[in-house]
Amino acid sequence: MYRNLTIKQKQIVWAWAFLAIPVVFYSVIRFYPTGNAILISFQNWNLLGDRTWAGLDNYIKLFNDPVFWKVFANTFIYLLLGTPISLVISFVIAYHLDQLRFMHGFLRMLYFLPFMTSAVAMAWVWRWFYQPVPTGLFNNMLANLGIGQIEFLNSTTNALPAVLAPAVWAGLGFQIIIFMAGLRAIPKSYYEAARIDGVGWWTILWEITLPLLKPTIVFIVVFSSIGFLRIFDHVFNMTTNNPGGPLNATKPLVLMIYESAFTKFDMGYAAAQTVVLFLVLLVVSLLQLRILRDK
Amino acid sequence: MTFGAIRGLALASVTGIAGLLGSAAHAVEIEYWQYFYDARVEAMNQLIEKFQAANPDITVKMSHFPYADYRTKVASAIPAGEGPDVVQLFYGWLNDYKEAQLIQPLPADTFPADKIDSEFFPMVSAMRDGDQYWALPTAVRSLALFYNERLFDEAGIESPPETLDELIEVARKLTKKDGAGNLTQVGITAGMTAQDHHWWREGLVRQFGGDPYKDDYQTVNYDTEAGLAALNYYTSLFMGDDAVTATTFMDEPQAAFKAGRAGMHIDGSFRIGSLADIRGLKWGVTELPAGPDGTRSNYSSYWVNAITTKAEGEKYDAAVKFMEYLTSDEAMQLWLEVVGELPAKPSVGMTDKNANDPVFGPFIRGLEYAHTTKFADESGQRQVLVEMVERMQLQGVSAEESLATAAKAEQKLLDDYYGK
């Protein structure tokens, strides 16, 4: 039968033969569990007994759960604080690092190091930094200066920024490297032409560097947004005694999913939250791509 | 081939032959599952060895899994007709296992409910449903007050506190502050996130004259005068100007006690092992302090063993025998010595040797007046109490209001769980 095929058809057969592995991989490892998760979100299941049909109950419960809305807001605060702050800081560092020759490699390494460090280890170290006296580094410094104590983690207002800070710091290294690659990719001739015309650095930055960096910025914004929307390990490890606390002040959506699934064993409810997270990620990513795309 | 490998091979063939011979003598093999914890696995190995020596026609194969995977493994194996015949589970999971038909009740002829009621410590009755017991523990855990002997000597305190009022007095003497008024040493550790939620629920509320739950733990009953008194007592430890502790002190209560920065610390018997290894820490244990009218109360939790629905026929009979052995006095004494968990029967626990043991004694004596909370969702119910205190600390909500909110929130959890 294979012999009777035209060359074109044979090519297609071979193409599919090679594609078979990733296709199978994706359907078994990605699409099947995704589909299953969506199915579970319409069911009740405690991991032990049978799954029973729940209809829209899980979604209705979610809609009426004040903790969910608090957590939903937290997730967006992580996004809205984290992405712009990390974008600006990493650009400023990359911009200056790009013009620096002295110890360039060493400094770049220093910025990249946190990215390679285990988030768990880092979160615990920062958790100890934030403790009150006598253990906390920051509060001990404040005490030595005669300044009052700051409650970093045990506060409904300070806790979220305190948890976010190491997450931003950890992500910087990656973003700096991407920005520097983007900066290097801008042809030198544009800058030379600008200088010959006697243009100031601000105009160069605003009219040449940033517009030409747009693809890089789009990539970083989308990537870090997804990262902040999915923040989990920093929060969980810095608040293990009271995950997402105090009073849910730091709880992101992923942590709520984790708790619903693996401490309350309410898989249906967890799956419903996962579907919501999936939709949020989808919408945010599509919006960003659309807004930041070339006009 | 190295010597070790040869020896391994030889051993393997010997056990293989033994296995063959065993099956010739019509041996039944049953499987036992528990989660992995070094001392527990070691104790169970010793118990299995002794059990097999006494019952040559039965072999018990133990499997253990990391705690994180345990529930999923059990849940998927048993309905598939695989997995354990006898399984270990946390007492709080009993209802879920029962409803999912993973376990079956213990036979009433070998384990008559009334006999068990009279032989075991009272809180084990949480495993009883009607005339049947569904599961039984080998060992139980309770709370007690750990104290730092060095800090006691330093502050000139001669004996640990006996009552709740003395507790505050003693704690006050042990508290140290720096020039700016920051705590550098606390009289007693505090934190609902650790064991304090058990102490508050089953200890303080009862000691102030309340009864934390009604209807077999399905109705919250602590939004009362007694509950309020208990909450006020508890928060007075760390709120106000003369606080003797802080909930955030050194991140975790047990860390502060281990570091020698806390005079006293309420914790479970499972902490004994990790405290024993701390160099330079000299500590003692005493019973939880008595309430205003002298009432003592404690909280007990435990892991139980149960027979799964997979066990049938001769395997079922073997599983019953194994359960009998696991709940025997001999097994309990061994478990105490190897794991450090307390015997579930007064006949073992209240022997002179055990009940007067300087370390285990206070915990074992606590079992006589201990209660076991039937949790629907332990972490969720803990969270309710954590937030009850946080609302007062961080948002300035009054004790009355916070208590009422907590009671409502916990009732909702219970109602959802029991399908009301």
Answer yes or no: is B12 within a domain. no
- Give me the residues of chain B with pLDDT under 70, please: 1-26, 420
Question: Does B380 sit within 8 Å of A264, measured CB to CB?
Answer: yes
- State the pLDDT at residue B379: 85
Query: Is the domain of B133 the same as that of B159?
Result: no
Distance from CA of A75 to the nearest CA of B (A): 20
Distance from CA of A23 to the nearest CA of B (A): 28
Q: Where are the domains of chain A?
A: 62-292
CA-nearest residue to A151 within chain B is B248
Query: Is the domain of B228 the same as that of B137?
Result: no
Residues 164-223 of A with CB under 8 A from B: none
Q: Does residue B292 contact residue B67 with C-beta atoms inside 8 Å?
A: no
Answer yes or no: is B16 within a domain. no
Query: Is the domain of B47 the same as that of B129?
Result: yes
Which of B72, B184, B383 is closest, CB to CB, to A133? Answer: B184
Query: Is the domain of B178 the same as that of B266?
Result: yes
B379 touches chain A (CB under 8 A): yes
- State the pLDDT at residue A294: 62
Q: How many CB atoms lie within 10 A of CB A169?
A: 16
Instruction: Give the bridge partners for B103, in sequence order.
Output: B308
CATH at B363: 3.40.190.10
The number of folded domains in chain B is: 2
- State the pLDDT at residue B18: 45
**Hey, what amino acid is at A286?**
L
Q: What angle do CA B264, B266, B270 make, to 5 degrees?
A: 120
Please give the Cα distance from B237 to B175 (Å, whole number): 11
Query: Is the domain of B272 the same as that of B387?
Result: yes
Q: Does residue A66 contact residue B405 with C-beta atoms inside 8 Å?
A: no
Residue B108: give the domain boundaries: 26-141+301-371
**Hey, what amino acid is at B88?**
Q
Segment holding B34, helix H or strand E: strand B28-35
Query: Is the domain of B36 the same as that of B175?
Result: no
Instruction: Give the bridge partners for B265, in sequence order.
Output: B146
Distance from CA of A160 to the nearest CA of B (A): 15
B102 touches chain A (CB under 8 A): yes
- State the pLDDT at residue B92: 84
Query: Is the domain of B101 the same as that of B187?
Result: no
pLDDT band at residue A249, thresholds of 50, 70 and 90?
Answer: very high
Question: Does B178 sit within 8 Å of A143, measured CB to CB?
Answer: yes
Q: What φ, ψ does residue A5 adopt, rounded to 5°? A: -75, 155
- State the pLDDT at residue B11: 47
Question: Does B251 sit within 8 Å of A128, measured CB to CB?
Answer: yes
Which residues fall within 8 angstroms of residue A233, CB to CB, at 6 or more apart?
A: A119, A120, A123
Query: Is the domain of B330 the same as that of B197?
Result: no
- State the pLDDT at residue B21: 45
B72 touches chain A (CB under 8 A): yes
In the numeric block, the tokens 């939880």 are attached to: B288
Which CATH class name applies to A62-292? mainly alpha
Query: Is the domain of B100 the same as that of B186?
Result: no
- Give the best residue of A44, A48, A131 to mutate against chain B (max B CB count within 10 A): A48
Answer yes or no: is B6 within a domain. no
CA distances from A80 to A77, A213, B306, B309 (A): 5, 21, 51, 52
Query: Is the domain of B380 the same as that of B340?
Result: no
Q: How many CB atoms lie within 10 A of CB B412?
A: 14
Mean pLDDT of the A162-180 span: 94
pLDDT at A177 over 50: yes
Residue A235 or B419, more confident: A235
DSSP for residue A190: H
Answer yes or no: is B367 within a domain. yes
Distance from CA of B111 to the nearest CA of A (A): 26
Query: Is the domain of B349 the same as that of B205?
Result: no
pLDDT band at residue A50, thresholds of 50, 70 and 90?
Answer: confident
Query: Is the domain of B224 the same as that of B333?
Result: no
Distance from CA of B196 to the nearest CA of A (A): 13
Answer yes or no: is B227 within a domain. yes
- State the pLDDT at residue B261: 94
Answer yes or no: is B63 within a domain. yes
A150 touches chain B (CB under 8 A): no
pLDDT at A165 over 60: yes
Q: What would the pLDDT profile of A67-86 be if each residue is shown by its tens digit?
A: 999 999 999 999 999 999 99
Q: Does residue A172 contact residue A186 with C-beta atoms inside 8 Å?
A: no
Question: Does A135 sit within 8 Å of B246, measured CB to CB?
Answer: no
A241 touches chain B (CB under 8 A): yes
- State the pLDDT at residue A295: 55
Tell me which chain A residues have a C-beta less than 8 angstroms from the C-beta of B97.
Answer: 48
Answer yes or no: is B18 within a domain. no
Answer yes or no: is B9 within a domain. no
- State the pLDDT at residue B72: 78
DSSP string for B4-27: HHHHHHHHHHHHHHHHHHHHHTT-
Which of A135, A156, A259 is closest, CB to CB, to B394? Answer: A156
Q: Does residue B120 contact residue B136 with C-beta atoms inside 8 Å?
A: yes
B80 touches chain A (CB under 8 A): no
Which residues fall within 8 angstroms of residue B395, CB to CB, at 6 or more apart?
A: A156, A247
